[in-house]
Amino acid sequence: MNEQVPEAMSWSTENCTISRTMEILGDKWTFHVLRELFVGVRRFEDIRTRAGVPRQVLTDRLAALIERGLIRRHPYRLPGQRERYEYRLTQAGLDLYPVLVAMIQWGDQYLPLDGGPPIEARHRGDCNAHVTVVLRCEAGHEPTPRDVVLRPGPTAKPRALAG
Amino acid sequence: MNEQVPEAMSWSTENCTISRTMEILGDKWTFHVLRELFVGVRRFEDIRTRAGVPRQVLTDRLAALIERGLIRRHPYRLPGQRERYEYRLTQAGLDLYPVLVAMIQWGDQYLPLDGGPPIEARHRGDCNAHVTVVLRCEAGHEPTPRDVVLRPGPTAKPRALAG
DNA sequence: TGGCTGAGTCTGTCAAGCGGACTTATCCTG
DNA sequence: CAGGATAAGTCCGCTTGACAGACTCAGCCA
């Protein structure tokens, strides 16, 4: 372990899980769209007006999210109108909840508003308690961020070092 | 509660914590840069080559992250060279660990690679166990994503409904 | 003096986002 | 059946930002 060359410099980012996840989520609008679905807004026009997404971008992102399996189209019909489609989270989409909650938690801590948060994650039903996210290791400890390290896993690819 | 008009449609996204957090993080490259810092790569050239960020974009994102207080510049000097600066996470930056771990966890589940993950979060030191993120409410339960709801908080802003 | 190196800035090209107008399909009303 | 309403798009032209590649700058060393 030489401080001059961090260990990470010797492996590649090519197949990095974070990169691959960000291919799907790492876009300004995609996350806005997901937020709408998480709070229960599922229709094209509603998502568009509430999130302020340009129509074309919304069309595009919805298609991408369907293709990636995070959401699916679901038919509905308002009385006196023709059948249309709304968009709902799949299990894969729902499983992004920890990411969302972690972001809200960070925002509440570092970008607080006077008077409290504008949005809260709560345990559904009678409990109704505030929900947060905690780091936990398989041995049952709950390490602080400083006690966590990111290390190369079994499929980490070596990387040619310049020089 | 009318299925036709989701509750969320009656409040605004204007001051939403997720939006405000995404102002900072919701950018393809910002997250790549943060990943490099999390794995211990701290120098301009190293970040640039490992993450593949265009120079100008890197300059720009580093400046934004400094301004937002997620990282700071730190002087260093290699033997026989002049003093330069590297970039390190502040406490605010480090506290994004849950977001990062949540993303890795989701990616490991829904975008798995044959042979296992290329990157792993572990408990630093002797423990070395795999670290994940769990949802937990203040009452001590650990709800599944389906048992969590996002609700307006004390500072949620009402929103004019069209029609 | 001149070259090396890390950390940038400068420049022209090209893709993407953007707002606003237009389109489509179906239902209801007259 | 003509005409209007509505949700969910598509089309169009403009502007912004990303991008690659060349250039700059400051200190150190031979």
Give the tens place of pLDDT for each residue, A64-76. 999 999 999 999 8
Banded model confidence at residue A2, pLDDT cuts 50, 70, 90: very low
Per-residue pLDDT for A77 more than 80? yes
* The pLDDT of residue B2 is above 60: no
Q: Indicate yes or no: CB of B148 within 8 angstroms of CB of A155.
A: no
What backbone torsions phi and psi does residue A88 show, to the nearest 5 degrees?
-130, 150
Partner A contacted by B157 (CB < 8 A): yes
Give how far Cα A59 sits from Cα of A45, A48, A102, A161, Å: 11, 10, 27, 42
Alpha helices in B2-161 (DSSP H): 17-25, 28-38, 44-51, 55-67, 91-94, 97-110
Model confidence pLDDT, tens digit, residues B22-34: 999 988 899 999 9
pLDDT exceeds cutoff 70 at A43: yes
Angle of the B97-110 helix axis to the B28-38 helix axis, nearest 10: 100
In the predicted structure, residue B163 carries a pLDDT above the cut 50:
no
* CA distances to A106, B23, B136 from B143, in Å: 20, 28, 6
Instruction: Tell me which of A131, A151, A159 to substitute to probe the interface with B (most B C-beta atoms closer than 10 Å).
Output: A131
CA-based nearest residue in chain B for residue A146? B94
What tokens does A103 get? Answer: 């972001």
What was the pLDDT predicted at B5? Answer: 83
- Give CA–CA dist A73/A84, Å, rounded: 9
* Cβ contact A45 with chain D strand, < 7 A: yes
| Residue B49: exposure state from Cβ atoms within 10 A (0-12, 13-18, ≥19) | middle
Option in A13, A133, A147 nearest B51 (CB) = A13
Chain A: closest CA distance from residue B32 (Å): 7
- Higher pLDDT residue, B14 or A133? A133
Any atom of strand D under 7 A from CB of B64?
no
The answer to whether B8 touches A42, Cβ cutoff 8 Å, is no
Residue B1, pLDDT > 50, answer no
A26–B152 C-beta distance less than 8 A? no
Q: Is the pLDDT of residue B148 over 80?
A: yes
CA angle B29–B35–B41, rounded 5-degree value: 110
Residues 6-25 of A with CB under 8 A from B: 6-9, 11, 13, 15-22, 25
Residue A88: CB less than 7 A from any atom in strand D = no
Pseudo-torsion of CA B76, B77, B81, B83, nearest 10°?
Answer: 50
Which 83-122 positions of A have CB less than 7 A from strand C?
83
Q: Which nucleotides of D are covered by protein (CB under 7 A)?
A: 6-12, 18-22, 26-30
> In a 3-state reduction of DSSP, which class is residue B142?
coil
Any A CB within 8 A of B77 CB: no
Q: Which of residues 97-156 of B touch A (CB under 8 A)?
A: 97-111, 113-125, 127, 129-139, 141, 143, 145-156
Global confidence as pTM: 0.94
Does pLDDT of A160 surpass 80?
Answer: no
| Confidence tier at B4 by pLDDT (50, 70, 90) | low
Residue nearest to nucleotide D11 (CA to C1'): A56
The per-residue pLDDT for range A107-140, each reduced to its tens digit, is: 999 999 999 999 999 999 999 999 999 999 999 9
Query: Which range among A21-25, A64-68, B1-5, B27-31 shows the weakest confidence by mean pLDDT?
Result: B1-5
Q: How many C-beta neighbours within 10 Å does residue B82 have?
A: 6
Residues A48-57 pLDDT 10s? 999 999 999 9
Q: Which whole number is the average pLDDT over B11-17?
A: 92
Mean pLDDT of the region B56-78: 94
Q: Do the Cβ atoms of A103 and B18 come within 8 Å?
A: yes
- The gap between the terminal CA atoms of chain B, to the nearest Å, is 18
- A108 Cβ nearer than 7 Å to chain D strand: no
A88 forms beta bridges with A72
Mean pLDDT of the region B68-96:
92
pLDDT above 80 for A3: no
